[in-house]
Amino acid sequence: MMKLKNLFPFAVALALPLSLVSCGDESKKEEQGSSKEEQGGSGPEASAPKDHTQIGNEVGAIMDSLIEGMSSISDKKSAEEFVAGLEEQKASLSALLKAAKELDPPTTEEKAAVQALKDASDKKGEVMLGNLMKMMVESADAEAIGEVMGKINADQEMKEITEDIEALYELKDTGEEPPSEE
């Protein structure tokens, strides 16, 4: 039951895997690229996803990449490497948020698809956080790792991006009751 906004600060504070080096499946990127070329698009906007489902898939891939990255933290050096990759991840999420805001509002089906991706990432994240906490308890570098990861908590821009994504898609934590409609 983690919120995106809670995962990012923790990941940043504990070396979250935002090293977007392997954000998503390369074959999906190639498919998207070729379909964009067929549509005659070029430049940065041509590579932007065209609908909320594609955007949700990319956000999910980034979240999975972050979780994977955090899972690799074992010492101060690996935490520093993780934190160093966060700017690229943040830029990618920001671009996806911008693209999503330029579309018509997401449909109920698109919101549900993004929620399902979030729920799957949450489950992976819970396992990773448990393993990370265990490593922190056992690590002689725990204090140094915590200091490096603490830099993530101070990233107000990342918090705002994730809160905006959650609001746009009306994302809920697993087990959270949907708001009552009056």
Q: What is the pLDDT of residues 1-36, one digit of tens each?
A: 444 444 444 444 433 333 222 233 333 333 334 333
Task: Give the dihedral sign, CA 75/77/78/83.
Answer: positive
Give a yes or no: residue 39 inside a domain. no
Q: Is residue 151 part of a domain?
A: yes
Question: Which residues form the domain of 83?
Answer: 4-16+52-168
Residue at 108 is within a domain: yes
Residue 181 domain flag: no
Element (H, E) at 7: helix 4-13
In a domain, 58, yes or no: yes
Asked if the structure places residue 79 within a domain, the reply is yes
- The whole-number pLDDT of residue 129 equals 84
The pLDDT tens digits for 162-177 are 999 999 999 988 754 4
φ, ψ (nearest 5 deg) of residue 99: -60, -40
The tally of domains found in the chain comes to 1
47 confidence band (pLDDT: 50, 70, 90): low
Residue where the block lists tokens 């039951």 = 1
Q: Please enumerate in sequence order all residues whose Cβ is within 8 A of that of 169, keeping only pairs 6 or more positions apart, or say none.
A: 52, 56, 106, 110, 111, 114, 115, 118
Residue 124 lies in a domain: yes
Q: What is the pLDDT of residues 58-92, one digit of tens each?
A: 999 998 888 888 888 889 999 999 998 889 999 99
Nearest residue to 141 via CA among 51, 80, 96, 59: 80
For residue 133, is pLDDT > 50? yes
The answer to whether position 25 is within a domain reads no
Task: Name the DSSP letter for residue 48.
Answer: S
